[in-house]
Each structure stands twice: as structure tokens, then as C-alpha cells.
Structure 1
Amino acid sequence: MESTGTKKTNHLLPWLNAMVTEPYFLFHFLSFFSYVVARTSASEFLSPDSSRRLLRRLVKEETWEAFIADTLLFAKGFLIAVSLILDYHLTLCYMVGFLVISILTQQPAYHGLGNANQLTPLQLETFLTEGNTSRFWLVEFRALCSSTCIRTSRFFPDLSITYSNKNISFGIVDLGHFPNAAEKFGISLGVSMGQLPTYILFENAVEVARFPEVDFESKSSSPTITKNLLCRHFELDRRLLEYVSGK
């Protein structure tokens, strides 16, 4: 029987391998480590209060990928600010370097499906209309050209592993491959609309809830997507308890 430490190590090794082999992470790390050559220490430029605020922001992340991505974002800003104090030529070099990295690479999406089904729009329609399938279908409509979809790509598979059962199934529709399906389900592909990804809960082929909710009169931005937020919004804990208790 594997010990807890062995399980954690087995889980960590694939993540470390991805950090090393993915160009997005590799190029960022190389550029950050290069700062040691330019300046071995610049900690005096970051106050203790700033450090605490940064730490509080980072620990809110739910996945290692999101944590590392946020760390890279803050580190880029830190390097540019510090290099500007040292030498504006160094600042220009970093800005050009970060621009090249952003053009050539992007943060990799999580490709695991968990217990979710990768669906075409036709397959989704078939599952929703067949009477012998799950009572509920929770579907994520994503497009991996969206940075938000990339950032949240692990959340849905993780939820599907915890909450899928005979009463509720999980599906993923890639609107990057099937953009015509967006209009059918009332989803705007415009970046400014902030509707990617969209999560819709169907009960017996009828939509009963979605996130983010479409409100054209409201100009306030939607809250940051997290697993806990999706769990609360679609009441997944309650639905799981109802299934276990046979209701």
C-alpha cells in the first residue's frame, strides 16, 4: 500500500515534467533566472507589505497551474519595475523578451477530461433528448483561444470526478471547433462579453441554470471562476446528497 508521501510524489512528478517541457513555463523561468546575472539581489525594492499582499493573492489559487501563472505575471511586473530603476536598456530588453514569449507561446490548457465527455453539439443534443440518459447534464462551453478557458480548464474535470453519478453527467463542448453552436445556446464568442467559458445545467433537456448569467443591463463583471463558485452556483453538493439518499 502506497504511503501518503509516495502518492504526493507520484502526483507531483508529472506536474514538474510539464513545467520543464512546456515552452510557456520554460521560457518564462529562463528569463526570470537571467535576472540573477543582471542583479543578484533587489529585495529592498519590495516592501514587506507588498510581499504579504502578493502572497495572499497567490494562495487563493486552486491549482498549481494557476498559481504558477499568477507568479509569472507578478514576477514579470517586478522585473520590469526593478530593471527600470537599474537601467532602462535592461527594461527594454525584458519587455521585448516578454513580448516575444507571449507571441510564440501561451499557457498550456489542462487536457484531462476526468469523468466529463468531450461532445460535439449533435452528440449533446442527442444525449439531452434521449430519455434513458442522466436527468441532469452540466456542460462546459469553452474555447481554448480564450485565456480564461485555459486558466479554468482543470476545474471542470475535477468537479466531474467528484460529482458525476447516474443522476448527473458532465460534458464539454469546444466552441473553438464548433463556433456555430454558440448562437444556439445563447453564448457570445466576443472577448469583451466575458462569456467564455459558459457553464449550463440542463434538466431533462431544459436549461435550469447557467454561469455566467446573461444580463445585458448589468455592466458589472462576473466573479472569478473557481471550483467552489461553480459547486455553489449549481448546488452540486445538494444534488449529490439527493442522489445518495435516493431522492
Structure 2
Amino acid sequence: MSKLIAEIKDVLSLHLVTNILLAISYYILKVNRPICEYLFDDCFLELKEWEWLTFLGCIIVIKCRKQGTFLEYMSTACMFAKFLNAVMMFKASPIYGFVYVLILILHTVVLPRPVYQGPEYVTYFRGPHLQEELERDKRITWIITFYAAWSPQSVTFAPIFSEISSQYHLDNLKFGKIDVSRYPDVGKKYNVDSGSWSKQLPTVIVFENGKETNRKPFISPKGTVVRYKFSKDGMISDFDLNNIYHRCKQNPLKGHKAKTDDDIAKEKKEN
């Protein structure tokens, strides 16, 4: 129920509502009188514009079929729709196109997409401390993000990782991060390229019993990086986090009482 309420709040957010309006703005302006009579030569979509809209629908279906949540689906759909809107606006008038692009920029700055800003349970490692921690107590399952501060994908992924750490952390299930742009030797040790053209940032690796058991993006037998788009639902599914969580919860560290769902809910409320 709490997840459903959170998704409803996301859908009703001012960012998404205005994003949808911007995505359908050309259609609204073109077919509704008296606005269309003032802005355009006619008040109906041309055959070419219908063809573009049909093509847009196909692109959205193809590109969005793997999106994890409704919010992600709508955000991706709106992105493609706004691009087509900009093209049609420029076609109608360069001035319309310029004004529309300016509005898109203002929307991004003034009403950015909401991100998680709650508590996190993440350990930030420096250099060799990561290896030392992995070997210190192999009963602890670690989920580590290898990132770079300059990487846009790493910045986008940060609030997702923080939210997951808040939801899944236990005494024997912990989350950590290390900046491989500052510690390239650590990246090299764990086969994570930290170069400017790297396709591996961020990389998330699961360590169980001190050994790597899963990573995304993974490296194919041919040595190529298989691209991976991080999302909360995608991570939970692809890393089997629910099963890892319940397994760790049922086998707490010696001297630590297993936390109940009520205990964890109470912790979150206090934080």
C-alpha cells in the first residue's frame, strides 16, 4: 500500500503533470480554436504530422517496453514526445521552436524530476579499505557501487542506490560506494574501467562470502561491456534483492537479533 501511495504521489507531482502538458502541447495548440487560428494557418494536423505521431508511438512502445515503473515509462515517453514537438514547432515557425525549447529548459531547471532525498545507509570507502572490509567478516553481504563523481550516470543513480540502502540494509546486508576516479587501482582490481570513455560507470557488484556473485553491467565472454540501465525496480529484480534480504534476515550475525518488519519500519520513522 505504501508503494502504491508513493507512486500516486509521483504521478500527481507538478513535474510530471507539466511534463505531460509539454509533451502534448503541439497537438493542443494545433487543434483547439481560437488558439490555432491565431498561431497556425489551419486547425487540423497535416498527414505528415499524423505520420510522425504514429512513428512516435512505435518508438515509445519499443523504447519503453523495459521501463520498470509507470513514472519511468511516462518520463521516457514525454522525452520523445517533446523532441517531436520541438521539430514540429520549428517547422511551423522558428520563433515557436525557439520559445518551446526555452520553455523546456526552464521546466528542467525550475521543476526537475523528483528524486529520493531520505536517509541512506551507505559506507563510503577509500582505497584499500574496501578489500579489508570484504575480508573482515565474510558473513556480511556487501552491495558496492563503483562510481565516478564526474559521471552523469553515477549522479543519476545515486538517489536510487540511497533509497535501496534505506529499504534493504541489515547488520549482515550492507551497502557501500567507492569513487574509482580517485582510486583507479581499486577499479582495476575489480575490473571496473574508470577512464573518461568508460561504459562501466556506475558498476554495482554483490559480494557474498567475500566473493563477487553478481554485477551490472556485466562483461561478456568476449570482454565487451553489456550496457545496463539502472532503475530501482530493475535493481531489485536483477540482483534478486528480496531473496538476499530475507536470507540475510533469517541468518543474523551472532549476537544480533533478527529485525522484524516492524523494527525496520520503526527505524525508518525515527530517521
Q: What TM-score do you get using the length of structure 1 for normalisation?
A: 0.63
Matched with 2:96 is 90
Are residues 121 and 111 of structure 1, via their aligned partners in 2, closer, same or farther at CA, if it must alter by over 3 Å?
farther
- Please show how residues 94-113 of structure 1 align to structure 2 within 5 Å: 94=100, 97=102, 110=115, 112=117
1:79 lines up with 2:85 in the alignment: yes
What is aligned with 1:149? Answer: 154
Given the alignment, which residue of 136, 139, 144 partners 1:139? 144
Matches of residues 12-91 of structure 1 in structure 2 within 5 Å?
12=9, 16=13, 19=15, 39=30, 45-46=49-50, 47=53, 50-51=56-57, 54=60, 57-58=63-64, 60-62=66-68, 66-67=72-73, 69-91=75-97
Contact 2:90-2:97 within 8 A present in 1 as well: yes
Work out which of the two has the higher radius of gyration on C-alpha atoms and give 1 or 2. 2
> Quick one: distance in 2 between partners of 1:147 and 1:160?
20
The separation in 2 between residues aligned to 1:85 and 1:65, in whole angstroms, is 30
1:179 matched residue in structure 2: 181
Q: How many residues align?
A: 232
Q: TM-score, normalised on structure 2? A: 0.59
Matches within 5 A, 1:83-232: 83-92=89-98, 94=100, 97=102, 110=115, 112=117, 115-121=120-126, 124-125=130-131, 127-131=133-137, 135-143=140-148, 145-173=150-178, 175=179, 179-186=181-188, 187-190=192-195, 192-215=197-220, 217-219=222-224, 221-232=226-237
C-alpha separation in 2, matches of 1:235 and 1:118: 21
**2:10–2:71 CA contact under 8 A, matched in 1:** no
Q: Deviations over 1:161-187 (max 9, x none)?
A: 4433233211233x2xx6222431232
How far residue 198 of structure 1 moved from its aligned partner, in angstroms, is 0.7
Instruction: Identify if the C-alpha distance between structure 1 residues 185 and 246 changes in structure 2 by more than 3 Å, giving closer, same or farther.
Output: same
Rounded Cα–Cα distance in structure 1 between residues aligned with 2:22 and 2:148: 29
RMSD over equivalenced CA pairs, Å: 4.7
* Structure 2 residue 2 is the aligned partner of structure 1 residue 8: no
Greater shift in the superposed pair: 230-239 or 134-143: 230-239
Q: Note the C-alpha offset of 1:52.
A: 6.3
Look up the equivalent residue of 1:181 and give its one-letter code. Y
> Aligned equivalents of 1:99 and 1:55: distance in 2?
23
Give the residue type in structure 1 aligned to 2:176. Answer: G
